[in-house]
Amino acid sequence: MSVDHDVARLNAEPPVFDAVFQQKLAELIAWRRDVRRFKPDPVDPALVEHLLDLAQLSPSVGNSQPWRWVSVDSAPMRARMRDNFVRCNEMAASVYRGQRAAQYAQLKLEGMDVAPRQFALFCDRATPQGLGVGRQTMPEALDYSVVTMIETFWLAARALGLGVGWVSILDPGSATADLDVPADWKFIAYLCVGWPVEEHVDPELVRLHWQDRTSVGRGVLYR
């Protein structure tokens, strides 16, 4: 499947990313949020198709494009995925004690009941595309490629006003079995997509005093 013509035309000539664009890009990155609160309003399928086309431009090891999308649309399947979350969240909550446990119980960690579009993302670890380039010593580079694609999709969606939420509190084995995909596909993410109820530049976990942003990832070791 080829990238759509509108996306292809974006690369017809080398672009000039001026100071205005650079500032807007910084704002886009800053305002990308993990959305958990969605409006029930539908999302135009053409808009989603456009985002999927843009995502195909993401980097991948050996140009393997190992990401595999599963659109979770039926009520019974969504209910199974929601039950998966509830089970896993109960186990996750049991790790905390005291005030932290009370805090955890108040966190909004998914938008699966409302988000109009929901996708499960898998990595096809058996893909022949790319002929193995770049993954002989680090086969997990295929998984990383899926993650970079998700970030591309996430930012592109945010630029169009859509919100994306990544639900990670799920049992991968159960999700893979329930969605009936090839056994050699690895479950990477479950994404909720829709129009956000609210806009915030700071993460919800910061606003709820669960975890502030720190400089721990900013340090650089020089050798």
Q: Going from the N-terminus, what domains does the chain have, and what CATH number goes with each? A: 40-207 (3.40.109.10)
Task: Reply yes or no on whether the pLDDT at 34 is more than 80.
Answer: yes
146, 67 in Cβ contact below 8 A? Answer: yes
Q: What is the pTM of this model?
A: 0.91
CA pair distance 117, 191, nearest whole angstrom: 8
Q: Which residue has the tokens 């193995």?
A: 132
Q: 81-86 long-range CB contacts below 8 Å, 24 or more apart?
A: 81/112, 81/118, 81/120, 81/170, 81/175, 81/178, 81/190, 82/112, 82/113, 84/170, 84/171, 84/174, 84/175, 84/178, 85/110, 85/112, 85/167, 85/169, 85/170
Task: Reply yes or no on whether the pLDDT at 1 is more than 50.
Answer: no
pLDDT digits (tens, 9 = 90+) for 48-82: 999 999 999 999 999 999 999 999 999 999 999 99
What's residue 3's pLDDT? 46
